[in-house]
A and B are shown apart, each in its own frame.
Chain A
């Protein structure tokens, strides 16, 4: 079973009254892989996640979670989920919420492990406090602890940092990297593209309910390039830069194998080199490009 992907979703389709929210979305999340789900508001990201987890009935399509059909509740035994709309029983304490989820997951997890889960999200000293008195940020932290408490093999995080301060966001980033190190598969839906770019192995971009682009970051963002700030560029010097794109004095070329040799060559031809820096299209630029192409 461990050979099967953490998530296998095929041709998911969902229509709400007159609006098609998801239209033939397919993707996989490998074991131990971190997949970023990107797209504008209303692209269908949350609907895809909800269909995957059995919260919303798909009109068509299939999902396998950890090698089992998603219609089998047992497929969610090792799945942790932080919903976009994170709310927990306000009349329970943080520790009681975790205890409830451990019991529902059918596991036996001791007090110490539960305390550790709360400590991991910075709520160790609020374990006995009622959730009703928590700020939104604290509730989101509790949601992370709930998602992680039952030793998950797949964690689905829908906007996990929407209510967190910069420190909290950094904590979540560290948490994601530690999950990755432990071989836990993660499906991350986030509007914070920098966050996705830093931790994700692959990205799926959704737009108007369809997959607009998908692949590894290298596949999506293309080869790395080199940005040079140059003056006194003669026609002869420009020829050795070909092919290039130019924006004023800034020339962008595909990253050559020997950067010092290129720079030396330019200097020899009388070009004044002011700056040389590696560059790559940012995920944000690529996302905007995909969405513009799609509209």
Chain B
């Protein structure tokens, strides 16, 4: 366990020393400032609306901004996963490390753990800051903030695990691009599925269901959105919002959460097998 924690700490140290943290901090601060401005505009421009309607608008825009953060977290960690593993193999940094009395599985798990901690930390800090901004501007506080943030962290973990798997077999750049491409494709498939649901077309709806099973990032994102929305407020504006990519009508089921956990564990195990077999 000491080796795993040492490698996890090293991964976090790398993110910090390579100025990833600083860049992300600046980007997040800009996004938070813009969102604060946007939410204050909602508050003032929708003065003619009821406070409930303003909250619905706030809830929807909150999901939009949170999608931005989830995107940064997922893509950021997926792009970090490539260099941290296959980049070290390509550069030769891995050679001296791997000849210590340690198992490759320990190195892989340590890297994974460090990345998960990085993604979770980012999602938590940025998410809580965003909730505070929304609360101060439109007086809205999401009903299940902890669940939502945990699901966002899960989404980040799922994508970075896929990035780690790719980085055991292909170049750092390719692994990041493929992981991000699949993330985007799944999100679009999820939107297509929502449209299918709204139109009552089961075949189109199936596109979203299948994609959410193959890569659970979109499913977890939808669960997170559901946790950030107030269902009572949604009921006020009635039907016709189901197809919105930034609203989710259904909470996640326990079975789906279990599948997402199994999926992540499976992909991590595959990565371990692939890394074990790789010639360095």
Contacts and interface: CB of A to CB of B under 8 A. Distances in A.
Interface residues of B, number: 23
Nearest to A16: B279
B92 A85 contact: yes
A82 B96 CA distance: 7
A73 B91 contact: no
Interface in B1-50: 2-3, 6, 10, 13-14, 17-18
A50 B100 contact: no
Interface string B256-280: 0000000000000000000001011
A40 B235 CA distance: 77
A92 B11 CA distance: 12
B279 A57 contact: yes
In the complex, which range does the number of interface residues on chain A fall in? Answer: 20 to 34
A136 interface: no
B238 interface: no
A105 interface: yes
Nearest to A131: B93
Nearest to B3: A104
Given A76-B99, A103-B2, A106-B101, A55 B280 contact: yes
Contacts of B91: 87
Interface in B185-238: none
A54 B102 CA distance: 11
Contacts of B93: 87-89
Contacts, number: 73
B96 A105 contact: no
Contacts of A89: 10, 14, 93
B96 A81 contact: yes
Given A81-B95, A87-B92, A56 B100 contact: no
A104 B98 CA distance: 9
B92 A105 contact: no
B14 to A, nearest CB: 6
Given A83-B92, A91-B18, A74 B101 contact: yes
B100 A104 contact: yes
5 closest cross-chain pairs (CB), A and B: A85-B92, A91-B17, A104-B100, A87-B92, A83-B95
Interface of A: 50, 53-57, 73-77, 79, 81-83, 85-89, 91-92, 100-101, 103-106, 143, 146-147
Interface of B: 2-3, 6, 10, 13-14, 17-18, 91-93, 95-103, 277, 279-280
Given A76-B101, A85-B95, A89-B14, 13 more contacts: A73-B100, A75-B101, A76-B99, A77-B101, A87-B91, A87-B92, A87-B95, A88-B96, A92-B17, A104-B100, A105-B101, A106-B2, A143-B96
26 contacts: A50-B279, A50-B280, A53-B99, A55-B98, A55-B280, A56-B279, A73-B101, A73-B102, A76-B99, A76-B100, A76-B101, A77-B101, A79-B99, A82-B96, A83-B96, A85-B92, A85-B95, A86-B95, A87-B92, A89-B93, A100-B10, A100-B97, A104-B100, A104-B101, A104-B102, A106-B101
